[in-house]
A and B are shown apart, each in its own frame.
Chain A
Amino acid sequence: GAVVSQHPSRVICKSGTSVKIECRSLDFQATTMFWYRQFPKQSLMLMATSNEGSKATYEQGVEKDKFLINHASLTLSTLTVTSAHPEDSSFYICSATTRNNEQFFGPGTRLTVL
């Protein structure tokens, strides 16, 4: 089946620093990649839709200058949390979509901002 990797799996950083998270589709080209945020014991909240070669589309309430998304190729999308603060601590998870619209999720990144 389709495999999506996400790196790093865990990151701890100081307040004010920036953190980059990579999402890769390993064995297929993804037409679209999505970035979600999941709080403990809660659902996935869609943050943005990322299409290769174009600007990401952000959901209402998500600051595009704070959560920078770059979709460099059909197999790689990155999310950069800029000037991170403790309230940005969360589980960030990406998904890559096949032509059939199936979403394959990465294992997620646990971000802790001190």
Chain B
Amino acid sequence: GQQVMQIPQYQHVQEGEDFTTYCNSSTTLSNIQWYKQRPGGHPVFLIQLVKSGEVKKQKRLTFQFGEAKKNSSLHITATQTTDVGTYFCAGSPYNFNKFYFGSGTKLNVKP
């Protein structure tokens, strides 16, 4: 079946350090989305990537979609305590109007 793998499972960083989470799909994706979920909250949409090799930036966040459209990454520069939460990728396979979530990366930022 469809699988979206995400690593690492956990990441503890000191405030100011960078952070990266990676997603890999077993199949080529039509597009990929990224979400952030705070403890006790629901996932909040961050961004959608559609094109092969696409790179998008949101302030300190940089999102990349691989050339083969099977992997993606989220990089946070100079983390802040407000970045704490679990980051999920969600991939949509071609010809399927649905999304499969990665296992998530829980980020903890020490002040």
A residues contacting B by CB (< 8 A) are 32, 34, 36, 41-46, 49, 57, 60, 93, 95, 100-108
A102 touches B102 (CB 8 A): no
User: Would you list 10 pairs from A and B whose C-beta atoms are within 8 A, ordered by A residue?
Assistant: A32-B97, A34-B98, A43-B101, A43-B104, A49-B98, A101-B33, A103-B33, A105-B42, A105-B44, A107-B41
A100 contacts which chain B residues (CB < 8 A)?
Answer: 48
A103 touches B97 (CB 8 A): no
B102 contacts which chain A residues (CB < 8 A)?
Answer: 43
Judge if B92 is at the interface, Cβ distance under 8 Å.
Answer: yes
B45 touches A104 (CB 8 A): yes
Interface size class of chain B, counting residues whose CB lies under 8 Å from the partner chain:
20 to 34
Judge if B111 is at the interface, Cβ distance under 8 Å.
Answer: no
Bound together, the chains give a CA A108 to CA B31 distance in angstroms of: 25
A60 touches B103 (CB 8 A): no
B98 contacts which chain A residues (CB < 8 A)?
Answer: 32, 34, 46, 49, 57
Bound together, the chains give a CA A106 to CA B45 distance in angstroms of: 12
Bound together, the chains give a CA A42 to CA B105 distance in angstroms of: 10
Chain B positions 61-100 with a Cβ under 8 Å from a chain A Cβ: 88, 90, 92, 97-100
A104 contacts which chain B residues (CB < 8 A)?
Answer: 45
B99 touches A93 (CB 8 A): no
